[in-house]
């Protein structure tokens, strides 16, 4: 970026900043910097917004849907395993009823978490209906006298409803669990697209910072003003905004990664309760941080407005200077 060759008095006529041969380049240089600052600010705002959304946009569904759904399905699987253990009891037991109730509630909770959209909801309704049928078959078995062949028959029907490969309750829940784990992985991964987005954002931020600094130096040389307040404020806003968004992103992504690590393990019994609490802690405040995305757009507009304000006075000086 050339610093120009002449004093402020040689500006070209309004609207046409291109210098004539041997004339002043100041107006043209101002216009170039003005446009460059606006374009870089716009691109940076867009890039930062999309990159930020790419991470934080997944935090909310992870916190409110996928992570609780994985835990709900884990709970249902564990409760059904316990129920199967109690199903062989001589008489109907409260433990069996309790486990069936836990499994049914967990499936309902997973449905409430909107697992897998319409298809997942339909699959969970199927599982809920199968749990009812399973409980009825176990109760029919328990109503038969000990040693009666009917007792064994009804238990075998119940077991097939629970454990048939592919179509049993457990198989269906495991498919849903895999889908939800895959969703958690998708939501918590920092893939090539996000890396590219953030790399582009940082490069644009560096370019904008460099451009602001260079423009500041240019104005100091040409107009003998030590500081341009508009450009200084734009630079400060850029630095502060970038620092805050980076910090928010690091915190949120760390929470999401911890959540994924926790949910990748098979959980049972007490671990399920602990995992629920830990997940809530890892993902606390992610919603608040995600809502900051709107401020990126506002911040971008502010940076542009500050850059505009900082340069406009000098551009106008040139535009209306008497010749």
Partner 1 sequence: MRGRARTVTVVASCLVLLAAAVVLGVRALGREPTVTLLANWTGDDERNLRQAVIEPFERKYHVHVDYQGSSAESQVLGADVEAGTPPDVVVLTGPGELADYAGQKQLQPLDGLIPREDFGASWATPLADGHVYWFPLKADLKSIVWYPAGTSEAERRRARDDPAQWCVGMGSGATSGWPGTDWIEDILLQQHGPGVYQSWAGGRLSWRSPQVRRAWTTWGRLMGAGTSSSLLRRTLQTGYAEASAPVTATPRGCTLEHQASFIRTQSTAWNQVDGRYAPSSELIPGSTADDSWEVSGDLVALLHTTPQARQLIRYLSSPTAQRAWATAESAFSVDTRAQPTTTGPTWHHTLATTLLSPSATHCFDASDAMPPTIRDAFAEAAIDYLAHPGHLDSLLTTLDTLRQAPGQTWLPAVCDRVP
Which of 128, 232, 233, 244 binds partner 1 (CB under 8 A)? It is: 128
Span from 113-121, 205-213, 219-227, 247-255 in contact with partner 1 (CB under 8 A):
113-121
In the complex with partner 1, which residue's Cβ is closer, 20 or 297? 297
What string of DSSP letters covers 49-66? HHHHHHHHTTHHHIIIII
CA 198 to chain centre: 14
Looking at residue 90, the DSSP 8-state letter turns out to be: S
Closer residue to partner 1 in complex, CB, 205/304: 304
Select from 22, 166, 192, 322 the one that contacts partner 1 (CB under 8 A). Answer: 166
Q: What is the DSSP code string of 227-250?
A: --HHHHHHHHHHHHHHHHHHHHHH
123 binds partner 1 (CB under 8 A): yes
C-alpha–C-alpha distance, residues 91 and 102, integer Å: 20
Decide: is 301 part of the binding site for partner 1 (CB under 8 A).
Answer: yes
Q: How many residues bind partner 1 (CB under 8 A)?
A: 42
Residue of 243, 224, 198, 204 lying closest to 38 (CA atoms): 204
Q: Is the dihedral of CA 204, 209, 214, 216 positive or negative?
A: positive
Kindly state the tokens that stand for 293: 């995305």
Q: Figure out which of the listed residues 160, 196, 273, 291 binds partner 1, where binding follows CB under 8 A.
A: 160
Question: For residue 125, what is the enclosing H or E element?
Answer: helix 117-143
Residue 295 touching partner 1 (CB under 8 A): no
Q: Tokens 């040689």 correspond to what residue? A: 10
Q: Cβ closer to partner 1: 267 or 303?
A: 303
Closer to partner 1 by CB, 77 or 130: give it: 130
Min dist CB 74 to partner 1, Å, is: 22
Q: Is residue 32 near partner 1 by the rule CB under 8 A?
A: no
Q: Kindly identify the residues of this chain, within the stretch 136-155, that bind partner 1 according to CB under 8 A.
A: 137, 140, 148-150, 152-153
Q: Are 208 and 231 in contact (CB under 8 A)?
A: no
Are 223 and 249 a contacting pair, CB within 8 Å? no
| Contacting residues toward partner 1, per CB under 8 A | 38, 42, 45-46, 49-50, 53, 57, 118-119, 121-123, 125-126, 128-130, 132-133, 137, 140, 148-150, 152-153, 156-157, 160-161, 164, 166-167, 297, 300-301, 304-305, 308-309, 312
């Amino acid at each position: 970026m050339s610093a120009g060759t002449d004093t402020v008095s040689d500006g070209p006529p309004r609207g046409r900043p291109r210098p004539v041969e041997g004339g002043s380049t100041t107006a043209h240089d101002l216009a170039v910097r003005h446009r460059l600052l606006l374009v870089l600010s716009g691109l940076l705002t867009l890039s930062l917004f999309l990159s930020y959304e790419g991470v934080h946009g997944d935090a909310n569904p992870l916190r409110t849907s996928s992570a609780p759904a994985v835990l709900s399905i884990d709970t249902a699987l564990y409760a059904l395993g316990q129920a199967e253990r109690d199903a062989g009891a001589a008489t109907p037991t409260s433990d069996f009823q309790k486990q069936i109730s836990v499994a049914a509630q967990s499936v309902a909770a997973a449905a409430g978490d909107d697992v897998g959209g319409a298809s997942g909801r339909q699959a969970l309704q199927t599982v809920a209906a199968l749990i009812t049928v399973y409980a009825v078959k176990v109760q029919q078995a328990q109503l038969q006298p000990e040693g009666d062949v009917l007792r064994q028959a009804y238990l075998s029907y119940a077991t097939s409803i629970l454990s048939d490969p592919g179509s049993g309750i457990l198989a269906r829940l495991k498919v849903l669990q895999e889908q939800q784990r895959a969703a958690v992985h998708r939501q918590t991964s920092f893939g090539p697209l996000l890396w590219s987005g953030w790399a582009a954002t940082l490069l644009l931020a560096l370019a904008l910072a460099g451009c602001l600094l260079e423009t500041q130096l240019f104005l100091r040389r040409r107009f003998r003003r030590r500081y341009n307040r508009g450009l200084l404020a734009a630079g400060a806003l850029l630095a502060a905004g970038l620092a805050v968004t980076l910090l928010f992103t690091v915190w949120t992504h760390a929470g999401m990664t911890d959540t994924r690590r926790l949910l990748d393990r098979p959980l049972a019994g007490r671990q399920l309760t602990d995992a629920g609490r830990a997940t809530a802690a890892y993902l606390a405040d992610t919603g608040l941080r995600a809502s900051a995305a709107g401020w990126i757009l506002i911040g971008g507009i502010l940076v542009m407005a500050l850059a505009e304000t900082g340069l406009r006075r000098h551009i106008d000086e040139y535009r209306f200077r008497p010749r």
